[in-house]
């Protein structure tokens, strides 16, 4: 990135990606944004599940370095239309139910996109028992402003329609802070796009920047991307849950503005230790802000990619996102820039000898 203009362009890219409609299994709009942004800088191809691969050639045909970020976001799918016209839905990905209530959504049908709001039984009509129990996902419905099933059908709404948060990204008053939906993982997508724009052809490897699909629905697209690209090493770029919320306690490993988050562990993957150590070494050598985390929950595309063929050395580098898996997340451009710098430094370090050593000595 070069100065203030480069930063403004990166913010614009992040907001465009954030605004894209892309629940799990319906990533087409986001994939097209990704494709347009990199098509002048890389060769484009696709897997058969919907993933996109942007290949950037260096001065050697291998090792093959996969940079993976998922295009999809947590969303919903219409499972039925009640006689009253309200829509019942199932989750596409993991939601904490209380965050959904009274939020605005977009329902995409064959006749276009329809604004709705997520409702539940009003508290005025609840029994004491209902008031005192936790809200369940099954309590929710979407109100698109109609009064009957026939009116909903007339809008083109039908079973299987995808639903996404109706949120427009924006810059906040704090310099470098952005608010919007789906930074998990549009932040990772933006990092890959920016890297492919910045790279010349002097890196000692082949870089494949991939946008995967259905990560929020069991990392399905990671499996096909790995099969398609046959990588020698993988860096997963993620929008990772920030843990610097109020009253967070003494262990904070994902602070906004704290730098690129290097993940050693989550329940789905023990990261390749040699690769993680190399990332930390490069961050320290280049003065790149970073933070190291061991996660108690969650998982990424790395869980599938690491298992491909004979095994792929894999690690996760993330941009911390406050309130991930909700309608509104917050990120810091400082962390996005730090992540770009760190991955770029690694790309120029990962020649054949270094990658072979990591493969043979993962500890």
Residue found under tokens 């993962």:
362
Buried b (16+ CB within 10 A) or exposed e, 312-349: bbbbbbbbbbbbbbbbbbbbbbbbbbbbbbbbbbbbeb
Q: Name the phi and psi angles at 164, rounded to 5.
A: -135, 160
Q: Is 215 a catalytic residue?
A: yes
d(CA 170, CA 21): 16
Buried b (16+ CB within 10 A) or exposed e, 257-290: bbbbbbbbebebbebbebbbebbbebbeeeebbb
Residue found under tokens 């990424």:
300
Of the candidates 118, 126, 63, 111, the one whose C-alpha atom is nearest the C-alpha of residue 91 is 118
Torsion sign (Cα): 232, 58, 342, 257: negative
- Of the residues 215, 238, 282, 304, which is catalytic? 215
d(CA 334, CA 289): 9
Q: In this structure, what DSSP letter does residue 145 have?
A: S
d(CA 99, CA 165): 11
Reduced to 3 states (helix: H, G, I; strand: E, B; else coil), residue 259 is: coil
d(CA 41, CA 342): 20
Reduced to 3 states (helix: H, G, I; strand: E, B; else coil), residue 92 is: strand
Residues designated catalytic = 215
């Amino acid at each position: 990135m070069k100065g203030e203009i480069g930063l403004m362009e990166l913010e614009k890219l992040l907001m465009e990606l954030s605004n894209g409609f892309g629940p799990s299994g319906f990533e087409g709009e986001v994939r097209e944004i990704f494709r347009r942004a990199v098509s002048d800088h890389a060769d484009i191809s696709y897997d058969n599940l919907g993933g996109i691969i942007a290949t950037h050639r260096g001065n050697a045909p291998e090792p093959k370095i996969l940079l993976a970020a998922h295009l999809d976001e947590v969303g919903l799918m219409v499972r039925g239309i009640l006689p009253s016209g309200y829509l019942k839905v199932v989750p596409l990905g993991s939601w904490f139910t209380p965050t959904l209530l009274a939020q605005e959504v977009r329902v995409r049908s064959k006749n276009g996109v329809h604004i709705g709001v997520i409702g539940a039984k009003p508290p005025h009509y609840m029994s004491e028992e209902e008031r005192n129990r936790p809200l369940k996902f099954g309590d929710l419905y979407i109100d698109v402003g109609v009064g009957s099933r026939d009116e909903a059908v007339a809008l083109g709404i039908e079973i299987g329609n995808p639903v996404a948060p109706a949120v427009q990204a924006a810059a906040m008053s704090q310099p470098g802070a952005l608010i919007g939906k789906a930074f998990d993982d549009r932040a990772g997508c933006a990092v890959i796009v920016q890297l492919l724009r910045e790279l010349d052809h002097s890196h000692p490897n082949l870089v494949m920047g991939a946008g995967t699909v259905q990560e929020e629905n069991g990392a399905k697209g990671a499996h096909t991307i790995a099969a398609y690209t046959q990588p020698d090493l993988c860096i997963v770029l993620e929008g990772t849950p920030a843990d610097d919320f109020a009253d967070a306690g003494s262990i904070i490993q994902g602070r906004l503005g704290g730098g690129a988050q290097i993940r050693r562990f989550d329940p789905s993957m023990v990261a390749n230790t040699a690769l993680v150590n190399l990332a930390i070494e490069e961050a320290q050598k280049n003065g790149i802000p970073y933070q190291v985390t061991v996660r108690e929950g969650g998982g990424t595309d790395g869980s599938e990619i690491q298992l491909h063929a004979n095994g792929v050395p894999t690690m996760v580098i993330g941009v911390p996102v406050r309130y991930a898996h909700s309608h509104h997340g917050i990120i810091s451009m400082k962390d996005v820039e730090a992540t770009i710098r760190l991955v770029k430094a690694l790309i120029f370090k990962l020649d054949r000898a270094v990658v072979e050593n990591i493969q043979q000595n993962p500890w």
